[in-house]
A = this chain, B = another copy of it.
């Protein structure tokens, strides 16, 4: 049981949801103070180092998770053993929605790409709260729809067109709107997201750097030339 050992090591305490700085943007935004008092099960927090598994494909889905900070990848494996990254999740996103359906297993492996902070709560309490709380209920559905939109966008934006286009679109999807900053990850992961090889990912990124489309502030931390990347992305 690699998972539980890992998570035990990563445990950083019980969460204080009522005073959570993310509360207004997170799944439980619609809950009242009274609702929280009905939650007797613990909500735990974890710190994940890059590369750590949060859960594996097929693990019994008994918890749901929210991302407080960081990025994780959701991975599926092909019969030949290679991996394909089907989505990434970031701050305020929810992992493990499938736990809403009792008896399900997780459909992906969830692995931290950068150092991440995660809150974990039993799916059972979400099921119970959702039954009586229409607002939470609506929020859950909206999350599902968002995941579906992400999945579709992943297909149309990140698995279509030339390697140059795909990389440009990925960068634009990762960029922080304010500062034109973007934190990248290993070339292998970039390749697995875009359906290209590690070498092609590396070559293309290196070329972008030479062309001044991205400047590396520190390791894998880039400042992007957004307008020109947009031009490449759209054709």
Chain A, interface residues (CB within 8 Å), range: 35 or more
Copies in the complex: 2
In the docked arrangement, what's the CA distance between A149 and B74, Å?
13
The reply to whether A107 and B141 form a contact with Cβ atoms under 8 Å apart is no
In the docked arrangement, what's the CA distance between A131 and B235, Å?
45
Residues of B within 8 A of A141 (CB): 100-101, 140-141, 144
Nearest Cβ on chain B to A190's Cβ, whole angstroms: 15
CB-contacts of A7-58 with B (<8 A): none
A-B contacts, 7 of them at CB < 8 A, read: A76-B156, A84-B155, A84-B156, A86-B155, A100-B141, A140-B141, A154-B155
List the interface of chain A (C-beta within 8 A of B): 76, 78-80, 82, 84, 86-87, 97-98, 100-101, 104, 107-108, 131, 134, 138, 140-142, 144-145, 147-149, 151-152, 154-156, 159-161, 195, 234-235
